[in-house]
Structure 1
Amino acid sequence: MLQHDTTLVTFPSGATEGASAVRALVPLGARDAVGVLGLIVDTTPFHPVDHTWPDQPGDSGTVLVDGVVYPVVDAVTGAIGPDGQFALGEEIPVKRGDEAWTWQVVHLLEAVPQPEALLGANAQLRVDADRRRALSAAHTGCHVMALALNEALAERWRKPPGREDSFGRPDFDAIAMESSRMDEHASTDRYRIGKSLRKKGFDPDGLAEQLPELADRVNTRLAEWIAADARVRIEIFGGEKTARLTARREWVCELPEGTASIFCGGTHVSRLGELDALQCTLSLSEDASELVVVTVPKLL
């Protein structure tokens, strides 16, 4: 029966390196015809993809044990149930944070010839920092775009929808969000524009014709915020620098208009000034039921 405490993570503070003992190994069968091993440690800088809201991909990188470097091809959320059962990613039957389960960052290694030699050893963990930075830029871009989009669409609400963003504007991003996905190049956010949104007070009439103007407004605001070099940080509820994977975390950005915050479990740049540019495009699906926003960051 597999037993382990919930993994401690250092990625919220921006860490990309660390050391920890290997506490568990989980055979995961074949992936693309290559044997995959799940490695679990006490504390890791690796950010895993979340099974509940898989917006940011898991980190890749390396694990060094006894002079041997093992590539980490992915980092995934795993969980151990009250009866010791192990589940990985989409197989997890409960939401992240369920207190009856313990939660793990599972580092996926391929083709390990003698996995038993890893158990109990001290591992040096190193995240691919360039890929992390690109993903962080996309994730930060996603959040500041959301705030700018809320501002640009504020005049389309016929009545208060009951949910506001940090600046007191109707939170279109949170209310209409269908999905959010990011990679090293961009974030893609999809918003459902249907009967439910209309009932909440949003007026979509003429939205298609207004998209170029809305994009200009959003991009102008993004350029202003980058020029202001607003500071970005992740706050962990409780204030720890090293926290359990399941700890509640919040993205905080000190914009000229005030401090904005959005609940978030991902990674981010430390200042908007790390971006040379942030550009978004807006489009509607063919049946006009979905607004799609693609936000492309350019790092300095």
Structure 2
Amino acid sequence: MLPVEDTLVTYPSGAVETAATVAHVRDLTDGRRAVLLDVTSVHPVDAGWPDQGADRAVLRSGTDEIIVLDCVVGATDGADLYLGRDIPVGKGTEGWAFVVVHIVVGDCALAEGDSVATSVDVGFRARTSAGHTACHLASLALNLAVADRWKKEPRSDALGTPDFDGTAIDVSLITENTSTDTYRLGKSLRKKGFVTGGLEEALPTIERFINATLATWVATDAAVHIDRDGDRLTDRRYWALDLPGQTLRIPCGGTHVSALSELGSLRVILSMQDVEGTNVLTMVTRVG
């Protein structure tokens, strides 16, 4: 039977291995197989905001080691299983369970009730976590760098700065030691009060400001942790940074380093392109 409760997840605490029980196995139309566990340390791709990819991982059962080909968020009403963007309801919908779906080869021998252990590639997790922490830091520094370009009062970020990142973000992609964020500078953003005129010419100055800000923050070796309302997949989680004198919190379901010193150094590169008549700002943030 399909689970009636959300999957328990241990990756927010930094876990890379977890003992689990197989809750459900289902064949997919592409010939692969979906494995649902009661608990997992494997970070899945989120359906709503797929910025961070899935962990590299294996499921160990006895002497067998089963490679996790992909890992995604799914949802079930007890009868059907929906994956990723095919999920028809929002998280927390009554009568639905949200689950982590481990996708494996079609001939794997796992069955409901089997005991397994999830094991995540530690190096890949660390590099991806560094990219995600760098993404949050860079977004906060970018907000500071363009704070004087607002004619209206927008929403604020975790620092109390006008939230350009949250207002203009189009796509965010987290990879190993890198994040790439793109921002649309179109009519909607201008109506909200952001001044785009002269921004391209100012990019070198903005870039230097961001990089100097990032260097200052990294030098504090501030602690990073994930605050969470519970251990289920749908429980709210927050990225928290303990800067000297204040703690910042940003809603986030991803994985992160535990201290800024783990990043070594950060470098942001800004560029602007015209995409079908709309200016698009790209910020690439690299670790190391």
TM-score bracket for this pair, using the shorter chain length: over 0.9
Q: Offset of 1:93 from its aligned partner?
A: 1.6
Could you tell me which of 192, 200, 213 is aligned with 1:200?
A: 192
Q: Offset of 1:166 from its aligned partner?
A: 2.0
Give the distance between the partners of 1:124 and 1:114, measured in 2 at CA: 15
Q: Offset of 1:288 from its aligned partner?
A: 5.3
Aligned partner letter, 1:101 = W
Aligned partner letter, 1:154 = A
Contact 1:22 1:121 in 2 (8 A): yes
Aligned partner letter, 2:102 = H
Contact 2:21 2:115 in 1 (8 A): yes
Give the distance between the partners of 1:255 and 1:214, measured in 2 at CA: 22
Aligned to 2:53: 57
CA deviation digits over 1:230-265, x for unaligned, max 9? Answer: 11111002xx4xx11000111111123622111001
Q: Offset of 1:189 from its aligned partner?
A: 0.8
Give the distance between the partners of 2:93 and 2:49, measured in 1 at CA: 15
Could you tell me which of 116, 126, 129 is aligned with 2:119?
A: 126
Aligned to 1:142: 135
Aligned to 1:75: 71
Contact 1:52 1:96 in 2 (8 A): no
CA deviation digits over 1:47-79, x for unaligned, max 9? Answer: 110011101001121111121111112211111
Q: Does 1:273 align with 2:277?
A: no
Aligned partner letter, 1:156 = R
Structure 1 segments of 4+ aligned residues over 4 angstroms from their partners: none
Q: How do 1:83-232 and structure 2 match up within 5 A?
A: 84-115=79-110, 118-161=111-154, 163-232=155-224
Give the distance between the partners of 1:189 and 1:113, measured in 2 at CA: 38
Aligned to 1:291: 281
Q: Offset of 1:113 from its aligned partner?
A: 4.6
Moved more, 186-195 or 141-150: 186-195
CA deviation digits over 1:26-64, x for unaligned, max 9? Answer: 11132xxxx311111111111110011101001121111
What's the secondary structure of 1:292's corresponding residue? strand
Q: Offset of 1:98 from its aligned partner?
A: 2.5
Contact 1:225 1:256 in 2 (8 A): no
Alpha-carbon spacing, 1:257–1:216, altered in 2? closer, same or farther (3 Å): farther
Identity %: 44
Give the distance between the partners of 1:172 and 1:254, measured in 2 at CA: 22
CA deviation digits over 1:156-179, x for unaligned, max 9? Answer: 112212x11122210111111111
Give the distance between the partners of 1:79 and 1:119, measured in 2 at CA: 18
Aligned to 2:225: 233
Alpha-carbon spacing, 1:280–1:272, altered in 2? closer, same or farther (3 Å): same
Contact 1:52 1:95 in 2 (8 A): no
Aligned to 1:26: 26
Give the distance between the partners of 1:189 and 1:257, measured in 2 at CA: 28
Counting matched residue pairs gives 286
* TM-score using structure 2 length: 0.95
Could you tell me which of 246, 251, 255 is aligned with 1:263?
A: 251
Aligned partner letter, 2:23 = R
Contact 1:6 1:103 in 2 (8 A): yes
Structure 1: which 5+ residue stretches go unaligned? none
* TM-score using structure 1 length: 0.91
